[in-house]
Structure 1
Amino acid sequence: MPHDLEGIERSIAAQMPRAVEELSRLVAIPSVAFPGHPEEPVLAAAAATEELLRGAGLPHVRQIPVEGSFPAVFAEAPAPPGAPTVLLYAHYDVQPAGDPALWRTPAFEPTLIDGRLYGRGAADDKSGIMAHVLALRSFEGRFPVGVKVIIEGQEEYAGERLEAFVEKNPDLLRADAIIVADVGNPSVGDAAVTTSLRGLAAFTVEVRALKESVHSGSFGGAAPDALAALIRMLASLHDEKGDVRVPGLPRGVFPGAGPSEEEFRETAQVEDGVSLVGSGSLADRLWASYSITVTGLDVPTVNGAINAVQSVARARVTVRVPPAGDPGRAAADVTDFLRQAAPWGVQVTVTDQVLGSGYLADSGGRARAALDRAMERAFGRAPRDIGAGGSIPLVSTLARQFPAAEILLFGAEDEAASIHAPNERLDLEELRRAATAEALFLAEFGSL
């Protein structure tokens, strides 16, 4: 077991070739836990995760059933006398690959290019699993703290399944500090701790105007078009600047610096000549304010379209909610606004609503102080506080269930990793630094 910080750093650096091979095998498993996708790869990823945790020196590893979901993988090692316990979280399921034509390399054929591993889930969030494994292996089974690990199997598909499990089994996951490795830095090497998460409200809105679609030549100009109605409704959600127009969803203020416009444009790959939307600072827009995105449409495709006035059209709408906001109230405000904006008396139905709470960290205690020192050594700079526009509903559940525990969000992802998008990739040096920071934190937190 390394008894010094340099020993930890050497151990993790020496493990990296093996870790890249293991991560590649894990990424090759298409563990998409969305309905309609095969279950076998998801279960295979659970088994592979279980094997990795056993190999990390944890004496107790098992899969545990989660009602309505895929199994979680749980592992633990008892705390040395007087030492605190740390809970480590990640998830083994991934987003669907999407259109294969948009990938430069096949989504589930992990490919190493210029120090980056490409493949769906390489960053989100199989990098989190490997960061935990690398950190734990550096102690060779003699951990300075009590360790608990929970690796979820259905985080990407919206729903609060593990959250309900945590509420029913609080003693299983109780800890003094919790590391959530499902986030990352603004850019590679720019050390940061995520202290703010937006919540989520998502739903499907359906507009129906006719009993069935009719010929546009014979009926167009008088028959109400469901698709045209839906387009008008969705367009009404934002003003000409791109700010949200829905009453009750005000802009917020983030107490810290966000990316520059140049950095954001490059990371988001905004086309030349296309302006950003909204007003206020980017930190305010991305981390502290409401945003509304149309994430899917059920309409006729251009290829094979016929000349018809559409009887029905559907859209999936996602609302990101500031940490202090109420996702249920936000969903009601947006759906009420859409109904009021519906033209021509079309019928509007809202279904498949999913809600998730946001999170705002406290100022920090001894765990955060230990993490700051660990990250400064691993990254060569002290970490700064950032927000995340995405949602991890489990975090707010953990905060409610374990109010005395410090929750620390950091990891190996970065804003240019293309998570949830084609060509997802992980910078392997970022993985090494994140794992090193985690191991250094465990060593110091156990000695406080």
Structure 2
Amino acid sequence: MVDVAALRERTEAVLPSVTDDLIKLVAIPSISAQPEHADDVMAAANAIVSHLKALDCDRVKIVQAGGQPAVIAHFDVDPGKPTVCLYAHMDVQPTGDLAHWSSEPFKADRRGDRLFGRGTADDKAGVAAHLAALRAFGGKPPVNVTVLIEGEEEMGSPTLGRILAENADELKADLYVVADCGNWGIGEPAFTTSLRGVVDCTVELRTLSHAIHSGEFGGVVPDALTTLCRLLATLHDADGNVAVEGLVSSEDTDVEQTPESVRQDSAVLDSVQLIGSGPVASRTWLKPAISVIGLDTTPIATSSNTLIPSASARISVRIAPGDTGANALACLRKHLEENVDWGAQLVFTDGEAAEPTRTRLDPEVIDKANWAWHEAFGIDPMQIGTGGSIGMIAEFQEMFPQASVLATAVSDPDCRMHGIDESLYLPDWEAVCLAEALLLAALGE
């Protein structure tokens, strides 16, 4: 039997040092999508390598496959024991407008039970949770442990597939613990079992070879931006449901979300209606969603009374489990080409892609995980879906089809990951550190 009390004591003993290291890691602006921060992503990788070497790991290295770095480390215990791969990512989203932050994003600020800063919840807390579990065992876990810390998840993991292929023997495991998902609520742990995928594209409309006078030609010649707005409006019906035909969609969920909880967690304005139809959970987990996430056109500050010759939009599609990125892009392109008005020229350019997935879990693994998280939180974890995308889970399952994947959480609905004033709820993160240590102990029996 696992000595829960002793392992709880050992985990609590290492939490102060792990929290300090988390704060130092947050101070590194490892924004993978911005080339000027490439050295910072590498600095984060080097910091993690130092922490792992301090635990006397057997092997550790930094690898790259044409993109950002990843850290791979091994704690070799016994070939007869299971191998668990602990995954998290060290890169973070851009900060947005710094003036809107209530404290410096790369200077972690503790306020009560929350630690504010970019990457506190997504996903440097995941890195720190793995470190806490390993430190609780003094660097000698009861199972073989591989650590994989990625540096480009926030970009859609564009080179992770090559890293997996080039290091397949080193990364093969019986269980992958992915510490990059969300809990159901404060004090309410969850395992994520389904994830939407994501694809995006850029669509450019052209109506003129150059800008012309809006007084002389307006009312006869269409401008590109108005034409683009009409096209984008066709992506949804009047209720906000996605109107692109051919995308996979389902309402089959046993978990219920309420509109009130969505309003509270999303901070949607009081006057704004929620969109779509069917159960709320299915709308965010099992149905596609389309958003216009960027526009290239004439800025208001430099605009004049001319007809704009070309305009572009970046369109993001969250795709449901059971669909594929290739199908989603094909359906979107077909819809746009069939719905463009007035004979405007359309240029369609593919962007990033991450496949949707449903995780595979061995019954024995889920039993032990349920036990570990119950011991740490005091209640059973829920099995939920998420509307977000972690493309590497699908890549893990494709590369290692016999392995189990346990998608665990360090974030909560109030953490504002990717947004202004991102934060980590420390009591739940501390419980995750204990739960992960308990899981390793249970798997080692």
Within the alignment, does 1:11 sit opposite 2:10 as a pair?
yes
What CA distance in whole angstroms lies between the structure 2 residues aligned with 1:113 and 1:301? 39
What CA distance in whole angstroms lies between the structure 1 residues aligned with 2:81 and 2:40? 38
* Aligned twin of 2:282: 284
Percent identical pairs in the alignment equals 38
**Judging changes above 3 Å, is the alpha-carbon distance between structure 1 residues 45 and 254 closer, same or farther for their aligned structure 2 residues?**
farther
CA deviation map 1:406-425 (0-9, x unaligned)? 10000211122111111111
* Aligned twin of 1:410: 408
Q: Give the superposition deviation at 1:363.
A: 5.8
Q: Give the superposition deviation at 1:16.
A: 2.4
1:275 pairs, out of 273, 276, 285, with 273
Q: Give the superposition deviation at 1:250.
A: 4.6
Q: Give the superposition deviation at 1:174.
A: 0.6
* Aligned twin of 1:42: 41
- Contact kept? 1:118, 1:425, Cα under 8 Å: yes
Within the alignment, does 1:92 sit opposite 2:90 as a pair?
yes
- Contact kept? 1:378, 1:437, Cα under 8 Å: yes
Secondary structure in structure 2 of the residue aligned to 1:43: helix
* Aligned twin of 2:425: 427
Secondary structure in structure 2 of the residue aligned to 1:38: helix
Q: Give the superposition deviation at 1:139.
A: 0.3
What CA distance in whole angstroms lies between the structure 2 residues aligned with 1:3 and 1:249? 47
TM-score, scaled to structure 2: 0.96
What CA distance in whole angstroms lies between the structure 2 residues aligned with 1:90 and 1:81? 24
What CA distance in whole angstroms lies between the structure 2 residues aligned with 1:83 and 1:289? 40
What CA distance in whole angstroms lies between the structure 2 residues aligned with 1:182 and 1:275? 30
* Aligned twin of 2:296: 298
Secondary structure in structure 1 of the residue aligned to 2:216: helix
- Contact kept? 2:2, 2:438, Cα under 8 Å: no
Q: Give the superposition deviation at 1:445.
A: 0.8
* Aligned twin of 1:395: 393
**Judging changes above 3 Å, is the alpha-carbon distance between structure 1 residues 159 and 300 closer, same or farther for their aligned structure 2 residues?**
farther
Q: Give the superposition deviation at 1:168.
A: 3.6
Q: Give the superposition deviation at 1:358.
A: 1.1
What CA distance in whole angstroms lies between the structure 2 residues aligned with 1:260 and 1:12? 36
**Judging changes above 3 Å, is the alpha-carbon distance between structure 1 residues 101 and 307 closer, same or farther for their aligned structure 2 residues?**
farther
* Aligned twin of 1:370: 368
Secondary structure in structure 2 of the residue aligned to 1:52: helix
* Aligned twin of 1:129: 127
**Judging changes above 3 Å, is the alpha-carbon distance between structure 1 residues 7 and 207 closer, same or farther for their aligned structure 2 residues?**
same
- Contact kept? 1:57, 1:137, Cα under 8 Å: no
- Contact kept? 1:90, 1:129, Cα under 8 Å: yes
- Contact kept? 1:160, 1:356, Cα under 8 Å: no
Secondary structure in structure 1 of the residue aligned to 2:409: coil
Question: What pairs up with 1:64-103 in 2 under 5 angstroms?
Answer: 64-65=63-64, 67-80=65-78, 82-103=80-101
TM-score, scaled to structure 1: 0.96
Q: Which structure 2 segments of 5+ residues have no match?
A: none
Q: Give the superposition deviation at 1:282.
A: 1.1
Query: What is the number of equivalent residue pairs in this alignment?
Result: 445
Q: Give the superposition deviation at 1:207.
A: 1.0
**Judging changes above 3 Å, is the alpha-carbon distance between structure 1 residues 109 and 213 closer, same or farther for their aligned structure 2 residues?**
farther
Q: Which amino acid aligns with 2:39?
A: E
- Contact kept? 1:204, 1:352, Cα under 8 Å: yes
- Contact kept? 2:248, 2:323, Cα under 8 Å: no
Bigger mean CA offset, 402-411 vs 34-43: 34-43
1:203 pairs, out of 201, 204, 211, with 201
CA deviation map 1:277-311 (0-9, x unaligned)? 00010111111111111111112233343322111
Q: Which amino acid aligns with 2:74?
A: E
- CA-atom RMSD, angstroms? 1.7
- Contact kept? 1:111, 1:119, Cα under 8 Å: yes
Q: Give the superposition deviation at 1:388.
A: 1.1
- Contact kept? 2:2, 2:442, Cα under 8 Å: no
Q: Which structure 1 segments of 5+ residues have no match?
A: none
* Aligned twin of 2:259: 261
CA deviation map 1:348-375 (0-9, x unaligned)? 1111422221111246421111100000
CA deviation map 1:50-101 (0-9, x unaligned)? 1222234423222122x22112101101132521110010111111111112
Q: Give the superposition deviation at 1:159.
A: 4.7
Q: Which amino acid aligns with 2:33?
A: F
Q: Which amino acid aligns with 1:427?
A: Y
Question: What pairs up with 1:104-115 in 2 under 5 angstroms?
Answer: 104-115=102-113
* Aligned twin of 1:176: 174
- Contact kept? 1:251, 1:288, Cα under 8 Å: yes
What CA distance in whole angstroms lies between the structure 1 residues aligned with 2:256 and 2:47? 37
Secondary structure in structure 2 of the residue aligned to 1:37: helix
What CA distance in whole angstroms lies between the structure 2 residues aligned with 1:36 and 1:308? 35
What CA distance in whole angstroms lies between the structure 2 residues aligned with 1:431 and 1:250? 35
CA deviation map 1:243-283 (0-9, x unaligned)? 01111125312432132211111001111122110001011
What CA distance in whole angstroms lies between the structure 2 residues aligned with 1:231 and 1:142? 59
What CA distance in whole angstroms lies between the structure 1 residues aligned with 2:44 and 2:360? 34
